[in-house]
Amino acid sequence: MRTGFIGIVGRPNVGKSTLMNSILGEKVAITADKPQTTRNTIRGIYTRLDENAGVQMVFIDTPGIHKPHSKLGSYMTESAIGTFKEVDVILFLVDSAMDKGPGDRYIIDMLQKVETPKIAVINKIDKMDPEVFRQIYESYEALGTFDAVCGTSALEGRNVESLIKTIEDFLEDGPMYFPADMITDHPERFIVSEIIREKILHYLNDEVPHGVAVEIESYREEEDITRIGAVIYCEKKSHKGIIIGSGGKKLKGIGKSARLEIEGLLGCKVFLELWVKVKENWRDSDFALSNFGYRD
């Protein structure tokens, strides 16, 4: 059986989480049209059992690599870069030409020092003119940094199977790390907190989402219902009012949307209670970052 760990890296908002979800055929990582949605490294497990052999790929979806402006940002970038030498294959996701900004070049410079097999994945080809895609493809191929270059549309699932086969070529025989029916090693409480945060990202605009953290305070499984209590932390009193909304409408919308998805995840009825509290400048507090699971 071929097995291995695959790191998915790139700038914020290039579709790393969407790609992993598409590969797995299940939603493991939250997605939003806002950068820096992923804060932790998220592991997703792809297993295919063939008659005589098989493959198991453990994908590690990392936070977008960016110039940090807070301790949380530093943690996110460090955790992404830290995967470079801990995996068997690196997928470097891009969605535009190299000359569009310094972000991709910065990551490429780091990847050139890493001996791990690397695949450049040009994502969002559904939004690209074929000639633009060809130019981007050839520019990455000419670098000599990558062992393969692929084009995908993670959102539409285009060329995802082809990418899986390309990754498989770089894997070696090894042990099966997880049971065949397991798609993530994260506990349900973590996934629940991420679902709530995703709904906040969808409901809110501008700077507020980046200053939001979710903590599960209570999680009680009963015979026919799971009761969950969660606190949404924000950095300013004005943000608290925005999250709650007029007459509590926004918080109710977040809660209902999250509850419906959590019920689908857990396969049972869910009673979800949400509270909003202010914790000023928590993104620059070592204690708060540790409390919220962003630092050991």
pLDDT at 209 > cutoff 70: no
For residue 211, give Cα distances in angstroms to 54, 158, 239, 282, 294: 43, 34, 9, 8, 14
DSSP assignment of 77-120? HHHHHTTTTTSSEEEEEESS-GGG-HHHHHHHHHHTT--S-EEE
Angle, alpha carbons 16-185-33 (nearest 5°): 25
Rounded to the nearest 10°, the torsion over CA 58, 63, 64, 65 is -100
Topology alike, domains 2-173 and 188-291: no
* Gyration radius of the chain's alpha carbons: 20
pLDDT, mean of residues 218-236: 92
pLDDT at 228 > cutoff 70: yes
pLDDT at 76 > cutoff 60: no
Q: Which residue did the predictor score with more confidence, 291 or 213? A: 213
Among residues of the chain, what percentage have pLDDT more than 70? 82
Report pLDDT for 33. Answer: 59
pLDDT, mean of residues 260-269: 88
Q: How many residues does the chain have?
A: 296
| Phi–psi pair at 247, nearest 5 degrees | 65, 20
pLDDT at 40 > cutoff 70: no
pLDDT at 21 > cutoff 60: yes
Q: Which residue did the predictor score with more confidence, 102 or 39? A: 102
Q: Which residue did the predictor score with more confidence, 83 or 16? A: 16
- CATH 3.40.50.300 corresponds to the domain 2-173: yes
What six digits make up the tokens of 121?
Answer: 């994945």
pLDDT in tens, 121-148: 999 999 999 999 999 999 999 999 999 9
pTM over 0.75: no
Report pLDDT for 113. Answer: 86
Mean pLDDT for the chain overall? 84
- Within 13 Å of residue 35, how many CA atoms lie on the same side as its CB? 14
CB 183 within 8 A of CB 24: yes
Listed by start position, the domains of the chain span 2-173, 188-291
188-291 topology per CATH: GMP Synthetase; Chain A, domain 3 (3.30.300)
pLDDT at 151 > cutoff 60: yes
- pLDDT band per the 50, 70, 90 thresholds, residue 234: confident
Report pLDDT for 36. Answer: 53
Report pLDDT for 111. Answer: 87
Angle, alpha carbons 149-154-157 (nearest 5°): 105
pLDDT at 296 > cutoff 60: no
